[in-house]
Structure 1
Amino acid sequence: MADYFEGCPICLDQNMPASLAIDYQDLPRSLERVGDWQAYPDCPTLGEGNTPLVRMQGLANEIGVHALHLKNEGANPTGSHKDRMSRFVVQRALQSGAETVAAASSGNAGVSLAAYAAQAGLDCVIVTTPAMNPNWRRAIEMHGATLLAAQTPQRRWQVLADRVRAGDWYPATNFIVPAVGSNPFGVDGYRSLAFELFLQLGTYACTDIIVPTSRADLLWGIARGYCDLQKAGLIDELPRIHAVEPFARISNALAGADYRDHFEGHSALTSIGGSTVTYQALDAIASCGGSAVVVEDEPTYDDQRRLARRYGFYLELSSAAVLTGLRKLVAQGTVGRDARVVLVGTSSGGCEYRAFSQGIASVD
């Protein structure tokens, strides 16, 4: 069975790239064991998932919603939601007979893949840029992975593409333009977040979920998880799932722009940066009746400080953007006062630091 790293081959031939998804014909009728809902129910783990869901009623009252929870993905082994993806990428690589896994990353994804590759005994290569955060660099190197620096993000994808197509590396991330989602087995791992929210909230279901978004792997995984819960008869209504972005990309595509275009912008929210939109982003929002909202840097910095100093959560800036996004969604009436909201805090802020520009072997 092919893994289709470049998405649907028919769509690609028509220059309409779209991710492929794992389709589960028969779903369990209960969630006694989340693993039974996943492609690899019993593969090795570092303890990812089952992250805390923390109620923040004071913040809910401040913003003007009925209830508010934070899903703290910073509690995963390497500090981000990426661990849910890396576990299954590595397992699939092992099953495929690969010896080296690789990713184009300047942060969380690289650290996570390096950790899970180390556990599995696989070689790991992370293609990054010279401006990589030194804390992330040290974490990747501590896990024994190889770092290669390309001069631009676009060059990173080309390096990855060349080695994947040559059969040298098994990829975790996208490498084509227009973009598709990351490795389909890895993205499928994000469905578990929806299952956990269902179990943690019980009958007190959420109405809206706010997700920091770049190429929408997590957004799609959560949406697909909830659609599977509905398909299995465990829920009647889907929550609305909203994408938070640093400048208008998905928002423009939802308004009619061609999703294959480039949407340039500049922001300090680097973890959800990039100029591309994936079809899976549009599909996730459409399937759950959600929306996309653009946030600016300064109010996001303010919300990052507020979450840390008032509520005890130091989130990475791109993660703190979910609070800024919620404020805007409430202000514009998209999220109402009776809403029960979950903010997905994708990563902790412990690795945030100044840019680093020396010392990584160059591929150019």
Structure 2
Amino acid sequence: MDTTEAFAGLECVDCGATFDAETAGHRCGECGGILDPTYAYDDLELDRETLASRPFDSMWRYEELLPFPRETAVTMDEGATPLVDCPKMADELGVERVLIKDEGRNPTGTFKDRGQSVAVTAARAHGASDVALASAGNAGQAAAAYAGRADLESHVFLPARSSHTTKAMVNVHGGEMTVSGGRITEAVAAYEDAMAEHDDWYSLGTFVTPYRHEGKKTMGYEILEQLEFDVPDAIVYPTGGGVGLVGMYKAATEFRELGLIDELPSFYAAQASGCAPIVEAFDEGRDVHEPVEYPDTICGGIEIPDPGASPWILEALRDSDGGAVATDDEEILEAAIAVAKGEGLEMAPTCAAAVSGAWELGERGEFDGDETVVILNTGSGNKEADVLRSHLMGKGI
């Protein structure tokens, strides 16, 4: 297994047990907790000048802080997405600067490509022939795309509510698709049944593989470098399973460890009111969420009623002096349309929860007026353009 020089192995975020990445591929063998890649930071010599000398061409430019070298990666040059200034939004929010990290420009149109690039690289390194996962939609499409590039068979379990575009592209990329029930919980149940029958399938599931959050952390590196290491005051992220949020939190702590920044940005989890287990846990001061019994939101990508990594998500929010916010579907859809109309950027409804969440934070007085706020657009608006158009038609537009 070809790994980078500083990659030290895998550590359980719950019990602290450590494992050799050569033999451990998924959850902790001691307690079943989430495994996290670790590095010998003292062995790394990575400074601002070194990064500035490299082309801004792919997330793999940070290979020293990834488990696998770029030359072995399953990659389509994902990452290196723009950080777009949005002055109208800054005026509306009442802050100095608003920037949108536009992840819709990745190969399959979402930030899921970052995670699947590293996870599929790991699957191939472990000698897998088949990969599998349950997904609300976009992660499944990305998995099928990267599996195809790696000459692996993919098995994707989706709920019926996944967009037509996503379901079509799973098949176009050569993936075997199983549609189960209306919501993600039913797709997960079907996936778990299949995994029990196929012990040779390599899981790409959220926080089952240790490598998806590792790919997504590169969003954090890029944001900090694109701002010339001037740490933003707030990063607002549309949160379901929270993979990207904990990834960016890890990225910021790593850059601080390496002396590239002195402080952490404040991370904010934005959720839909119809499914907001993280917001509820944060507001009530709990260290773990309570599952939402009856989730109900149009934002399928963040309708995750039982996020398994909630302790880690809540730690990231509190350690960074951030917070959590929920807004209703009407506000989220209006936010997506406002960004498209005012700034020209196309956001899927799920992603626009971060915009409506930022507006809500502003109305609460969370910002003083001189802040730099970064909002994550985790996927392209053309993924669910029909939802946005239907919303406009419902208003007679």
> Is the TM-score greater than 0.5?
yes
Q: Is the 8 A contact 2:165 2:383 kept in 1?
A: yes
Letter of the 1:246 partner, please give it: A
| Distance (whole Å) between structure 2 residues aligned to residue 227 and residue 191 of structure 1 | 11
Segments of 5+ residues of structure 1 without an aligned counterpart are 13-17, 175-180, 356-364
User: What pairs up with 1:44-193 in 2 under 5 angstroms?
Assistant: 44-151=74-181, 153-165=184-196, 166-174=198-206, 181-193=207-219
Q: Aligned residues, how many?
A: 343
SS of corresponding position for 1:112:
helix
User: What pairs up with 1:1-364 in 2 under 5 angstroms?
Assistant: 1=20, 2-3=23-24, 5=26, 7-12=27-32, 18-26=33-41, 27-30=44-47, 32=51, 33-42=61-70, 43-151=73-181, 153-165=184-196, 166-174=198-206, 181-247=207-273, 248-254=276-282, 255-257=284-286, 259=288, 261-264=290-293, 265-277=295-307, 278=309, 279-352=311-384
Q: Is the 8 A contact 1:100 1:122 kept in 2?
A: yes
SS of corresponding position for 2:298:
coil
| Distance (whole Å) between structure 1 residues aligned to residue 150 and residue 194 of structure 2 | 21
TM-score (norm: length of structure 2): 0.82
SS of corresponding position for 1:237:
coil
1:157-183 per-residue CA deviation (whole Å, 9 max, x = no partner) reads 233234445423111114xxxxxx352
| Distance (whole Å) between structure 2 residues aligned to residue 206 and residue 132 of structure 1 | 33
Letter of the 2:191 partner, please give it: L
Letter of the 1:338 partner, please give it: D
- The root-mean-square deviation of aligned C-alpha atoms, in Å, is 1.9
Instruction: Give, in angstroms, the shift of residue 257 of structure 1.
Output: 4.4
| Distance (whole Å) between structure 2 residues aligned to residue 58 and residue 133 of structure 1 | 30
Instruction: Give, in angstroms, the shift of residue 272 of structure 1.
Output: 0.5
1:218-243 per-residue CA deviation (whole Å, 9 max, x = no partner) reads 00000000000000011001100100
Q: 1:129 to 1:44 in 2, by over 3 A?
A: closer
| Distance (whole Å) between structure 1 residues aligned to residue 165 and residue 173 of structure 2 | 13
Letter of the 2:135 partner, please give it: S
Q: Is the 8 A contact 1:210 1:241 kept in 2?
A: yes
Instruction: Give, in angstroms, the shift of residue 260 of structure 1.
Output: 5.2
| Distance (whole Å) between structure 1 residues aligned to residue 289 and residue 224 of structure 2 | 34
| Distance (whole Å) between structure 2 residues aligned to residue 301 and residue 260 of structure 1 | 26
Q: Is the 8 A contact 1:208 1:335 kept in 2?
A: no
SS of corresponding position for 1:300:
helix
Instruction: Give, in angstroms, the shift of residue 337 of structure 1.
Output: 1.3
Q: Is the 8 A contact 1:240 1:290 kept in 2?
A: yes
Identity percentage of aligned residues: 29
Q: 1:327 to 1:22 in 2, by over 3 A?
A: same
Letter of the 2:68 partner, please give it: Y
| Distance (whole Å) between structure 1 residues aligned to residue 36 and residue 45 of structure 2 | 19
Q: Compare relative contact order (CA 8 Å, sep 6+) and give the higher one, 1 or 2.
A: 1
Q: Is the 8 A contact 1:99 1:169 kept in 2?
A: yes
More divergent stretch after superposition (297-306 vs 196-205): 196-205
Q: Is the 8 A contact 1:163 1:169 kept in 2?
A: no
1:139-160 per-residue CA deviation (whole Å, 9 max, x = no partner) reads 1111000001222533322332
Q: 1:52 to 1:159 in 2, by over 3 A?
A: same
Instruction: Give, in angstroms, the shift of residue 107 of structure 1.
Output: 1.3
TM-score (norm: length of structure 1): 0.89
| Distance (whole Å) between structure 1 residues aligned to residue 341 and residue 104 of structure 2 | 17
